[in-house]
Structure 1
Amino acid sequence: MAEEIGARLGVVLGGAEITVGVSGGQAYARATVDVAPDGWRDAVRGARDDAELSCDFFDWLSAVDELADGFDIVAHLWSIRHRHGVLLRTRVPRSDPRVPSVVDLFPGAAWHERETHEMFGIGFTGHDDLRPLLLPPEFEGHPLRKEFVLASRVAKPWPGAKEPGESEAGAARRQPMRPPGVPAPGEWGDR
């Protein structure tokens, strides 16, 4: 089924360059369709408007930081009538991470695009309300980028976590390690 959905989307997009895969194993197979960034909106619109696909429910949108390869932007659409889904994915370069917004196609994408912009720094052209959704206005950076250092893990150990090799009776603990470039907790200064 997943292969047929991916093949149909390829037809809908007029033979645009796409890659079709299957994720989720045999029982929960999901068509995964890779599209070029400039075909992002067309793929979302095609999955929604095509009578055979009829993906009329916007489920979610997010991103994955692939380091030097850039960012994968992923959206999951679902057809309520046909009871199938499609996972659309595009990769944008780290130097200019942006794709066209799909808010006019699926208004429910507004908060997903805002969150993805806030957490990864990915721009959604045509989205006129990319203000912060989850973080305080004075927050600097994009915390879901892999280069973002989670300073709280350095300043305070994770609660309840055991180090490898520890037993219930307690054993010698490993010396906590800081990521490179992160100052010791006493070196933070006034904040």
Structure 2
Amino acid sequence: MGRPHGQTGHRGVVPRSGDRVVRARVSASPGSAGGRTRTARGFEDSSVTKTPAIIDIAADEWVAACTASAARGCDVVDWLTAVDTAESLFVVVHLVDPDSSRSEMLRCELNSERPEIESITSWFPGADWHERETHEMFGIEFLGRSQTNALLMRAGDGSSPMRRTAALDARVRTPWPGQESTTGRRRQKLPPGVRAEWTRDE
């Protein structure tokens, strides 16, 4: 999955101290004629910076916001992925203007129990691979897609390995030495990333 340099996996776009987060509402539909009508309040600052603000978009305005970015010149999908913070699940896309250093980063919070959002592949064909991988890794349904076959995982596997609720099977099965103790006794220590309930017998 494409992602910016220096950022990895599902922790890549969690806001850090100093990050600018802009909440915007899109005032025009994706089909509006003319670039000037496809505008979103709150985007102006991010369109002129090399490190774009994270712009929060409502799920029902996702396509409109992405096409509004394209109308402003950011019409190439650099990467699209998801972020699972345990408390929230987001889908994030980074759109760039190939003729300049401008870019815009859009983020949408989803229902973590039933995550779904409209696909943008009809407007951005380059998002196809990213949406398919994000679907498999995070279980997000991209509505309106014409192609839904498996990309990296076995068909019908049903797991979403990048979700924080997914058990790390290899670590659960691997013997772990435990924790050092000054009393001469050792108590079991779980491998990093493994929850206690994953190791309990049914």
Match of 1:169 in 2: none
User: Is 1:32 matched up with 2:51?
Assistant: no
User: Is 1:61 matched up with 2:61?
Assistant: no
Match of 1:87 in 2: 105
Is the contact between residue 35 and residue 88 of structure 1 (CA under 8 Å) also seen in structure 2?
yes
Is the contact between residue 113 and residue 130 of structure 1 (CA under 8 Å) also seen in structure 2?
no
Is the contact between residue 78 and residue 96 of structure 2 (CA under 8 Å) also seen in structure 1?
yes
Judging changes above 3 Å, is the alpha-carbon distance between structure 1 residues 20 and 49 closer, same or farther for their aligned structure 2 residues? closer
Q: How many residues matched?
A: 165
| Shift of residue 90, structure 1, vs aligned partner | 0.5
Is the contact between residue 23 and residue 56 of structure 2 (CA under 8 Å) also seen in structure 1?
no
Q: Give the TM-score normalised by structure 1.
A: 0.70
Larger relative contact order (CA 8 Å, sep ≥ 6):
2
Q: 1:124 aligns with which of 126, 137, 142?
A: 142
Q: What residue identity is the alignment partner of 2:195?
A: P
Q: Distance in 1 between matches of 2:83 and 2:148?
A: 19
Q: State the identity %.
A: 32
| Shift of residue 163, structure 1, vs aligned partner | 9.0
Judging changes above 3 Å, is the alpha-carbon distance between structure 1 residues 144 and 176 closer, same or farther for their aligned structure 2 residues? same
Structure 2 stretches lacking a partner, 5+ long: 1-18, 28-35
| Shift of residue 95, structure 1, vs aligned partner | 2.8
* 3-state SS in 1 of match to 2:197: coil
Point out 4+ residue stretches in structure 1 off by more than 3 angstroms: 9-16, 18-22, 162-165, 172-176
User: Is 1:72 matched up with 2:83?
Assistant: no
Match of 1:180 in 2: 196
| Shift of residue 108, structure 1, vs aligned partner | 1.0
Q: Distance in 2 between matches of 1:21 and 1:152?
A: 45
Q: Give the TM-score normalised by structure 2.
A: 0.67
What whole-Å deviation, never above 9, does each CA across 1:104-143 have from its counterpart, x for those lacking one?
1111111111111111111111112122211122523111
Q: CA RMSD in A?
A: 3.7
Structure 1 stretches lacking a partner, 5+ long: 166-171
Is the contact between residue 50 and residue 101 of structure 2 (CA under 8 Å) also seen in structure 1?
no
* 3-state SS in 2 of match to 1:58: strand
